[in-house]
Amino acid sequence: MLVEPLGYVDGGPVALRGADDSLRADLWFDRTDRAYRPTIPPGPRRLLVADERARFVGGEGNLAFDAIVTAPTPVTISVPDPASGVHVAAGADLAIRWNAGSSGVVSVTLVASANGRSVTISCEMPDAGGFAVPAAMLDILPPPPRSLRLDVERIASIVQPAVGRGLSAFVHVTESDWRTGLE
């Protein structure tokens, strides 16, 4: 028997509010990516500060929900060194270090692109402040010359029951840092 995979659905408009209940952003459902997007573009402006309680209110009918998520503390990558960029040595693990946090989970993503081909390695782990991507995983990357991008995201999330029985909203807030490199 085939089981239909769970997916994101358009539950209606969602508003992100800060701890003081001020509107920080409206979110809309992007049918192409099947994900919610903020009405403001990404950039250096922070919607929330570390440890601030963010309130997500929205959805319509049976999909209505009201969820509170505590924003994670900012993440800062220290290894690889920001001054030298990301480089992958043949046959060696790639060490990654960041300031450990209390959110519980981080996602580490490495993307390598060359000659119109890209490979993504993504791992989720406890927020312990470091991880080494095993050399065996790095062997699948396209060979140099290539561009590299490393992202570390600190994640705070909850699954909030919606009004409708058996329905839930997955709400998450992330803080991220990234590095690039050319080889």
Give CA–CA dist 72/105, Å, rounded.
10
pLDDT range class, residue 5, cuts 50, 70, 90? low
Q: Is residue 98 part of a domain?
A: yes
Give CA–CA dist 40/42, Å, rounded.
7
Is the per-residue pLDDT at 59 higher than 90?
A: no
Q: Is residue 96 part of a domain?
A: yes
Give CA–CA dist 24/103, Å, rounded.
22
Q: What is the pLDDT of residue 6?
A: 62
pLDDT digits (tens, 9 = 90+) for 79-107: 999 889 999 999 999 999 999 987 779 99
Average pLDDT across the chain, whole number: 88
pLDDT range class, residue 42, cuts 50, 70, 90? low
Q: What is the pLDDT of residue 108?
A: 96
| Structural domain total, the chain | 1
145 cis-preceded (ω within 30 degrees of 0) = yes
Tell me the range of 33-37, 50-54, 131-135 where mean pLDDT is highest. 131-135
- Tell me which DSSP letter residue 21 carries: -
Say which CATH number the domain at 120 has: 2.60.40
Q: What is the pLDDT of residue 167?
A: 83
Token pair for residue 83?
């001054």
pLDDT digits (tens, 9 = 90+) for 169-182: 888 888 899 999 99
Give CA–CA dist 58/67, Å, rounded.
9
CA distances in angstroms from 82 to 76, 86, 128, 180, listed in the order given: 10, 8, 20, 9
pLDDT range class, residue 48, cuts 50, 70, 90? confident
Do residues 50 and 66 make contact, with C-beta atoms less than 8 angstroms apart?
no
Token pair for residue 141?
């990357």
Domain ranges, residue 146: 77-156+174-182
Do residues 16 and 47 make contact, with C-beta atoms less than 8 angstroms apart?
yes
